[in-house]
Amino acid sequence: MDLRNRTLGEFIIENQSSFKYSTGELSKLINAIRLAAKVVNHEVNKAGLVDILGASGDINVQGEGQQKLDVLANEKFIQTLKNREIVCGIASEEEEGFITINSNDKNHQNKYVVLIDPLDGSSNIDVNVSVGTIFSIYRRITPVGTPVTMEDFLQPGINQVAAGYIIYGTSTMLVYTTGDGVNGFTLNPAIGTFYLSHPDMKFPETGRIYSINEGNYVHFPQGVKNYIKYCQKEEDDRPYTSRYIGSLVSDFHRNMIKGGIYMYPKSSIASNGKLRLLYECNPVAFLAEQANGKATDGHGRILEIKPSELHQRVPFFCGSKKMVDKVMEFIAEQ
């Protein structure tokens, strides 16, 4: 059987036994995310035709201006997850605190919490450049049947049971892992079905692409500056190619396929970096490690960081193993 003929629904059912908590709940949860992704994809594809471009006029908890599609994507994912009644809590990059589901129902036996960045790279919306959604799934720590607490969300990334992203680009793809490799599914818009298009995705051991906002070069630590100069030097297989979209999902997706490294270091204008540990770094790091890649804050493994707050930011280096190891060498020297 051609693997690429398999739908996402069929793939989830066929591989449910490989998941150590195979009760069917996780499958329903992935299916809920699939449904919300199709709804958001439909709205993204209407941008420019209806009034969903531009800023909403609101400021989110990060102190950043929200785009209209930020708000819409946030509402659609939260609404879909709530309606399916399969999670006990949700945390979103767009919300100040977490959302408790059915906290007064003692028969509520749901075991999973979801953390989500509803629309990554939303500053690219108005110029028709790829954006995405990132999600992360954990089993709750507190007793089933009780309201979730902050403890359920502030778990290290190694506790993730699933993570993934949806990229809304030239085609719409859902890429995810449950700890048994990474697989990508492409949406057939004619019939609204995701098909397995990228089975067992892997980072090449090394690559020739580095992704970083070089406009902030003067603010970077010296070790990162030295690595950028290394990438630009004419020697061996270098210089490397600089490619930076400004959407983590898009940059990561390209680098995973072609080989490369994504970097968002700390700087003199962002002492902890800019990316959020729980909504961006942990799920992307989980995917990277499952795809033969590596993710670090420049000193240690991203997935071993114990979060201290819901919207915590950390420096982030992620991609092909040899490239991540090399930038860590430069950082260590300084």
Annotated binding site: 93, 117, 119-123, 213, 244, 274, 280
DSSP string, 130-164: -EEEEEEEEE-SSPTTS---HHHHS--GGGEEEEE
Nearest-CA neighbor of 280 among 140, 163, 131?
163
285 within 8 A of 278, measured Cβ to Cβ: no
Q: Parallel, antiparallel, or unpaired: how do β-strands 193-198 and 172-177 relate? A: unpaired
Residue with tokens 């004619």: 190
Give CA 139 to chain center in angstroms: 18
132 within 8 A of 168, measured Cβ to Cβ: yes
108 within 8 A of 102, measured Cβ to Cβ: yes
Binding-site residues for substrate, please? 120-123, 213, 244, 274
- Report the side by side order of strands in the sheet with 131-139: 99-100, 89-92, 112-120, 131-139, 160-168, 172-177, 182-188, 193-198
Binding-site residues for Mg(2+), please? 93, 117, 119-120, 280
